[in-house]
Amino acid sequence: PLNYLSSDGPRELRQLLDALQLPQVVLLGHSDGASIVLAYAATNDPRVLGSIALAPHVIVETESLDGIRHTTEAWHLGELRERLARHHGTNVDGAFHGWSDSWLHPDFSLADLEAQLACIERPLLVIQGRDDHYATPEQLVVIQRQVAGPCRCVLLDDCRHFPQTEAPERTLQLIGEFLEHLPAVI
């Protein structure tokens, strides 16, 4: 469904947490996974001590759609499909088209997700690259403005859409600082 980031993704994340039976977690997601983390953080599940979102999307921007169109062109050339198959295996076509076709559908919206941000009460760290080809810094502005709880948004220079691989030292430093300041609830 077109609202997979705000409904199906968080529902499946809850099922995973239930199955793992972990008493306390810190969620971390990247890109669409980060958006799902934000939607789940809005449920204020007591098991979640805090959440980390790397390059999340909470609004649909022209830059997002242009980036997806460009990535779709690369997909059709074949090399991207081969690289993604390492991560998605036999579901590579379903994973790619589930993402690109949803985002490029004329009825796709993140309004539900944006509205959920106001419900986030637990600590949140959001990291985005300044040169992200799928988003502008406006994503961070919206998150900072909407989130009710403690929220730190960081825009990294010399970084695009993958802070974990394009700025790994700074990203790990920020995550470490975030974890150090989380209240221990054990």
The tens digit of pLDDT for each residue in 130-160 reads: 999 999 999 999 999 999 999 999 999 999 9
Report the percentage of the chain scoring pLDDT > 90: 96
Q: Is 55 left (phi over 0), alpha (psi -120 to 50) or beta?
A: left
pLDDT of residue 16: 97
Residue 50's CATH number: 3.40.50.1820
Q: Flag whether 40 is in a domain.
A: yes
Domain that holds residue 120: 8-60+109-180
Q: Flag whether 185 is in a domain.
A: no
Q: Flag whether 72 is in a domain.
A: no
CA distance 72 to 110: 20
pLDDT of residue 2: 95
Q: Are 84 and 95 in contact (CB under 8 A)?
A: yes
Q: Flag whether 133 is in a domain.
A: yes
Q: Give pLDDT tens digits for 5-30.
A: 999 999 999 999 999 999 999 999 99
CA distance 93 to 178: 36
Output the pTM of the full model: 0.95
pLDDT of residue 79: 84
pLDDT of residue 130: 97
Q: Give pLDDT tens digits for 50-69.
A: 999 999 999 999 999 999 99
Q: Is 89 left (phi over 0), alpha (psi -120 to 50) or beta?
A: left
Q: Give pLDDT tens digits for 100-140.
A: 999 999 999 999 999 999 999 999 999 999 999 999 999 99
Q: Flag whether 80 is in a domain.
A: no
Q: Flag whether 13 is in a domain.
A: yes
pLDDT of residue 183: 81
Judged against a pLDDT cut of 80, whether residue 185 lies above it is answered with no
CA distance 150 to 152: 7
Bridge pairing between strands 151-156 and 48-54:
unpaired
Q: Flag whether 26 is in a domain.
A: yes
The two tokens of residue 185 are: 């609830």
pLDDT of residue 186: 53
Bridge pairing between strands 48-54 and 25-30:
parallel
CA distance 15 to 147: 24
Average pLDDT of the residues in 156-170: 98
Q: Flag whether 27 is in a domain.
A: yes
Structural domain total, the chain: 1
